[in-house]
């Protein structure tokens, strides 16, 4: 039985067992360690029973009411124990020995004891050594229940207090550190850090002057980039299905492409060494070579072959005179004017496109149409790609209505789920649309939990601005490691970011603001790069174009602004950008009309008409 029934007082009353830990939760790690040692695992929990139940175990709540400590759990466990022996381990101690139960069992039988308990030797500050009892790691007989009942009935609650009434075997373990437990969120985060999973605090603190209430865009981007990790999981897909997917391994070319030197033109192939420096050359045509049909012809001095594009160069030939450059052509001879071709011209070299044994494409590359063709040219039919990222998203707000519902007074249709759908689909994610969630704590918690269970990343919109953020903050804080930021930017100032844990799984969380333009801007500049990193993609930084701005822009220095723009070509052929009218963060039309975003960095003040600005273009060619 895993003891997970405590109040988690020292962890700020969180449900300790469900805290995210090394890609799972604390309890999932304890379960993993305990399961191979026993016949069946049950969990003793007094809150969030369904979340524990989702681990596939029976969950038992204390029969004694009022969070009476581990002994209350033990009592319930003994009452419902299907076997003669009950072993216990706490939910906050995921490192215990793999032979714990076996050794307790051996001692119990050997000594004819009612209970076996783990002990270690500990040395205190003064250098004295004592035996430390670990009563939460024990194995007991079901027959000891009456003694435990009597002890609890007396009102006592000490974990080892009832040992006086039974026969106890102490079992010494050498590795004291294996019994360490995690009592505070601080300790939990230290453990995560030790395992290479940094806490947000660790990541954020590496930035000098980190202030969640006043964060620069680039600092928020840095923290997010440092925090998220690529997900694991590779699948092999048929070549066509690899389009827009991320390569999970280098693709090494098994062959040279092209496999032979060949002609780049229709014309005449010959040995370029015989070209005189400044006189014409006449050559006798000794045959014809076409693509796909290598020929045994070996033109000698004064000879050439007629050759088609793609045909293998005959032995001894290194130069092709394009047909249209010939000075004269008859059925049997061709004349080459002085200077019309140089030795080596119009010949494609073996392996010049791709050479055998070299990586033709690198891991992390997103496969585009050119890559499909390139992979096909290698004769490769199946491609290893990263598994798709699963992204769950939902909108929050009592005022939101879904399409098809009547729009009551003060209500708006939920548009954010549609822009998010579009952006995530374009990014190649598997999406889980969780609908609209009401502005109430229980609904939000439920939605976050189930999203955390099934997704790699969660994107929410709304409910993170000042005022409403209070309960969001509380719930997100309880479910994981989440920071609430105010970012020096417009639109999109508030942002929640971190990790949410649920049922042994965890997901990266982006709590985007509610305003429709703010959602898109925060998605593009914060979520998108992070999702690409999680997808294992080598994403190049945004390509900025520097162009003339045709209209003045009022802009406050000290924050980054993302204005929606229309990029066009002026009469003189240079490119220019103008702003798409009203820039309110609720005016989605400004995004729809735009074909680019004008990026105005922190240091930028007002822009005068004619000034140069940076833009990011929305759509690429391929
Ligand atoms: P909030 O951040 O929740 O205070 O929302 C800010 C503004 O964005 C409010 O005017 C909301 O009505 C609006 N909003 C929030 N979510 C959505 C949504 N999914 N679709 C359209 N507008 C929204
Ligand atoms: Mg709202």
Tens of pLDDT along 279-338?
999 999 999 999 999 899 999 999 999 999 999 999 999 999 999 999 999 999 999 999
Question: Which pTM value belongs to this model?
Answer: 0.70
Q: What 3-state class would DSSP assign to 290?
A: strand
Best residue for ligand 1 mutational test, from 395, 396, 397 (most atoms within 8 Å of Cβ): 397
Using DSSP bridges, classify how beta strands 612-617 and 544-549 pair: parallel, antiparallel or unpaired: antiparallel
Report how far ligand 1's centroid is from the alpha carbon of 136 (Å).
Answer: 49
Q: How far away, in angstroms, is 202 Cα from ligand 2 center?
A: 30
Amino acid 67: pLDDT: 80
- Minimal-distance CA residue to ligand 1 atom 14: 514
Which pLDDT value is given to residue 536? 94
What is the number of the ligand 1 atom nearest to the C-alpha of 461?
A: 16
| Residue nearest to ligand 1 atom 16, measured at CA | 514
Contact 612/583 with Cβ under 8 angstroms?
no
**Distance separating alpha carbons of residues 196 and 229, to the nearest angstrom:** 10
User: Which atom of ligand 1 is the closest one to the Cα of 467?
Assistant: 4
Helix axis angle for 70-80 and 145-153, nearest 10°, is: 140
Q: Among 410, 412, 423, 465, say which to mutate for ligand 1: greatest number of ligand atoms within 8 Å of CB.
A: 412
Phi, psi at 155, each rounded to 5°: 95, -5
Q: Can you tell me whether residue 51 is helix, strand or coil?
A: helix
Kindly identify the ligand whose nearest atom is closest to the C-alpha of 513: 1
Nearest to 91 by CA among 150, 147, 14: 14
**DSSP conformation class of 398:** T
- pLDDT, residue 433, reads 97
Three state DSSP letters for 439-457: CCHHHHHHHHHHHHHHCCE
Q: Pocket residues for ligand 1 (CB within 6 Å)?
A: 395, 397, 399-400, 412, 414-416, 461-463, 465, 468, 513-516
Q: State which of 408, 462, 470 you would mutate to test the pocket of ligand 1, scoring each by most atoms of that ligand within 8 A of its C-beta.
A: 462
pLDDT at 622: 76
Torsion from C-alpha of 200, 201, 205, 209, nearest 10 degrees: 100
Residues facing 270 on adjacent strands: 319
Question: Ligand 1, atom 3: nearest CA belongs to which residue?
Answer: 462
For the chain, residues with pLDDT lower than 70 are: 193-196, 468-469, 503-504
Cβ-proximal residues to 538 (8 Å cutoff; 6+ apart), any chain: 362, 364, 365, 366
The atom number, within ligand 1, closest to the CA of 417 reads 19
Residue with the nearest Cα to atom 10 of ligand 1? 515
Residue 494 Cα: closest atom of ligand 1: 2
Cα(465) to centroid(ligand 2), Å: 8
| Cα four-point dihedral sign 264, 266, 271, 275 | negative
**Which atom of ligand 1 is closest in space to residue 439's alpha carbon?**
3
The CA distance from 26 to 34, in Å, is 12
Ion ligand 2: residue ranges with CB closer than 5 A: 397, 462-463, 514
Closest CA to ligand 1's atom 17:
514
Buried b / exposed e along 571-584 (16+ C-beta atoms within 10 A): eeeeebbbbbeebe
Residue 504's pLDDT is: 64
pLDDT tens readout for residues 330-360? 999 999 999 999 999 999 999 999 999 999 9
Ligand nearest the Cα of residue 397 is 2
Which ligand has an atom closest to residue 435 CA? Answer: 1
Quick one: pLDDT at residue 211?
Answer: 93
**Rounded CA separation 492/462 (Å):** 11
- Give Cα separations from 250 to 363, 365, 427 (angstroms): 5, 9, 21
- Token pair listed for 171: 């079992």
Q: In this structure, which ligand is nearest to the CA of 466?
A: 1
Which residues make Cβ contacts (< 8 Å) with residue 180, sequence separation at least 6? Answer: 93, 95
Atom of ligand 1 nearest to the CA of 463: 3
> What's the number of CA atoms in the CB half-sphere (13 Å) around residue 182?
28
Adjacent-strand bridge partners of 168: 115
What pLDDT, on a 0 to 100 scale, did the predictor assign at position 541? 85
Instruction: Please list the helix, strand and coil fractions of the chain in percent, rounded to the nearest 5, in that order.
Output: 30, 30, 40
- Please tell me the distance from the alpha carbon of residue 371 to that of residue 356, in angstroms, as a whole number: 17
CA distance 464 to 484: 8
Report the separation in Å between the CA atom of 439 and the middle of ligand 1, taken as the mean of its atom positions.
11
**Ligand approaching nearest to the C-alpha of 412:** 1
**Nearest ligand, CA of residue 494?**
1
Q: How far is the CA of 412 from the centre of ligand 1 (A)?
A: 8
Q: How many residues does the chain have?
A: 622
For residue 79, the SS3 value is: helix
Span from the CA of 618 to the centroid of ligand 1 (angstroms): 24
- Burial class from Cβ neighbours inside 10 Å (0-12, 13-18, 19+) for residue 471 reads middle
Sign of CA dihedral 53, 83, 46, 502: negative
C-alpha closest to that of 421 among 437, 435, 407: 435
Task: Name every residue whose Cβ is closer than 8 Å to that of residue 72 and which is 6 or more positions away in sequence.
Answer: 5, 62, 63, 64, 152
**Predicted pLDDT at 195:** 66
pLDDT, position 268: 98
How much distance in Å is there from the Cα of 515 to the middle of ligand 2? Answer: 9
Ligand 1 pocket test target in 514, 521, 585 with most atoms within 8 Å of CB:
514
């Amino acid at each position: 039985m895993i003891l997970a029934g405590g109040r988690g007082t020292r962890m700020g009353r969180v449900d300790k067992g469900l805290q995210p830990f090394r890609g799972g939760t604390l309890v999932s790690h304890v379960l993993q360690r305990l399961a191979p040692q026993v016949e069946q695992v049950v969990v003793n929990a007094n809150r969030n029973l369904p979340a524990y139940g989702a681990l596939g175990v029976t969950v038992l709540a204390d029969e004694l009411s009022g969070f009476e400590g581990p002994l209350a759990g033990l009592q319930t466990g003994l009452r419902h124990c299907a076997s003669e022996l009950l072993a216990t381990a706490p939910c906050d101690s995921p490192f215990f020995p793999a032979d714990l139960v076996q050794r307790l069992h051996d001692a119990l039988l050997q000594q004819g004891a009612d209970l076996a308990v783990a002990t270690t030797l500990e040395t205190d500050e003064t250098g004295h050594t004592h035996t430390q009892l670990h009563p939460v790691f024990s194995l007991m007989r079901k027959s000891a229940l009456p003694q435990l009942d009597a002890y609890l009935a007396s009102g006592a609650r000490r974990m080892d207090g009832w040992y006086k009434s039974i026969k106890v075997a102490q079992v010494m373990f050498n590795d004291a550190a294996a019994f360490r437990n995690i009592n505070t969120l601080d300790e939990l985060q230290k453990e995560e850090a030790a395992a290479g999973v940094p806490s947000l605090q660790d990541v954020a603190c590496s930035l000098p002057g980190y202030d969640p209430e006043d964060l620069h865009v680039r600092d928020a981007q840095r923290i997010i980039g440092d925090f998220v990790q690529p997900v694991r999981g590779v699948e092999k897909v048929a070549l066509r299905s690899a389009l827009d997917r991320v390569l999970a391994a280098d693709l090494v070319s098994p062959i040279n492409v092209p496999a032979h030197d060949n002609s780049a033109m229709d014309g005449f192939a010959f040995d370029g060494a015989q070209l005189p420096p400044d006189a014409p050359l006449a050559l006798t045509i000794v045959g014809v070579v076409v693509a796909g049909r290598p020929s045994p012809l070996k033109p000698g001095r004064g000879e050439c072959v007629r050759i088609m594009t793609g045909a293998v160069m005959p032995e001894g030939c290194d130069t092709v005179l394009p047909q249209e450059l010939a000075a004269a052509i008859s059925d049997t001879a061709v004349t080459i004017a002085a200077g019309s071709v140089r030795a080596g011209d119009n010949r494609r070299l073996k392996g010049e496109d791709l050479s055998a044994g070299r990586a033709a494409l690198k891991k992390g590359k997103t496969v585009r149409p050119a890559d499909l063709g390139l992979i096909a040219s290698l004769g490769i039919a199946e491609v290893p790609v990263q598994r798709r990222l699963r992204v769950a998203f939902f909108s929050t707000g009592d005022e939101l209505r879904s399409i098809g519902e009547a729009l009551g007074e003060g209500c708006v249709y939920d548009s954010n789920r549609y822009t998010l759908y579009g952006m995530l689909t374009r990014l190649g994610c598997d999406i889980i649309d969780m609908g609209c969630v009401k502005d109430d704590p229980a609904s939000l918690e439920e939605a976050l939990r189930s999203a955390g269970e099934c997704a790699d990343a969660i994107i929410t919109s709304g409910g993170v601005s000042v005022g409403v953020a209070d309960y969001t903050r509380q719930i997100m804080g309880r479910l994981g490691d989440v920071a609430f930021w105010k970012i020096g930017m417009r639109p999109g100032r508030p942002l929640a970011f971190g990790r949410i844990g649920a049922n042994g799984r965890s997901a990266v969380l982006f709590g985007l603001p509610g305003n429709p333009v703010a959602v898109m801007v925060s998605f593009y500049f914060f979520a998108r790069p992070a999702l690409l990193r999680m997808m294992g993609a080598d994403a190049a930084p945004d390509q900025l174009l520097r162009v003339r701005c045709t209209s003045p822009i009022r802009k406050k220095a000290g924050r980054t602004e993302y204005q929606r723009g229309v990029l066009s070509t002026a009469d003189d052929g240079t490119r220019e950008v103008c702003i798409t009218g009203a820039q309110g963060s609720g005016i989605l039309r400004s995004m729809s009309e735009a074909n680019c975003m004008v990026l105005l960095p922190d240091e930028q003040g007002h822009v005068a008409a004619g000034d140069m600005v940076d833009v990011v273009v929305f759509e690429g060619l391929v």
